[in-house]
Amino acid sequence: MSIHNLIDKIKSKTGIDNMTFVYLLIIVGVGISSFGLGRLSVSDNSTTKDNNMPIKQLEGSTEGLNTKDGNTLITQVNGAEKRYVASKNGKMYYSIGCSGANRIKPENEVWFATKEQAEKSGYALASACK
């Protein structure tokens, strides 16, 4: 059985014309290829979040950093999820998915679990991350 015979057999059983059959094949092909491209774009890295931005894995018990107002920030705590980052030299904090977070050098990073912790330490949310 050739492809031409298969197409004729399908058309005779379903009662659709040539153009409808072509449109149907195009729609199915686009759907399958879109699904495949979507699957290819997903990383298998287990250290990524929703927007595929890597989350730094912090190790060690605790490490402190003194702020301008004398408070001690805990930048690393075992088991705590770090959602916000700030530069120890700056005045703004960023969420993990914000582009500003990528510009902070690793040695200057200060991590927070909540917005309240960051604001209590004297940082303000960057306007680009709202």
Instruction: Write down the pLDDT at residue 18.
Output: 78
Pairing type for strands 72-77 and 62-66 reads antiparallel
Instruction: Write down the pLDDT at residue 4.
Output: 80
Question: 0.75 cut: is pTM over it?
Answer: no
Instruction: Write down the pLDDT at residue 59.
Output: 43
The answer for residues whose C-beta is within 8 angstroms of residue 59's C-beta and 6 or more apart is 76
Closest among 106, 72, 101, 105 to 84, alpha carbons compared: 101
Instruction: Write down the pLDDT at residue 117.
Output: 87
Instruction: Write down the pLDDT at residue 7.
Output: 76
The answer for residues whose C-beta is within 8 angstroms of residue 125's C-beta and 6 or more apart is 92, 93, 94, 115, 118, 119
CA distance 88 to 107: 9
* Tens digit of each residue's pLDDT, the chain (130 residues): 788 888 788 778 887 787 887 888 899 999 999 998 888 887 665 444 444 444 444 444 344 444 444 444 444 444 567 788 898 888 999 988 888 888 888 898 888 888 888 889 899 988 887 7
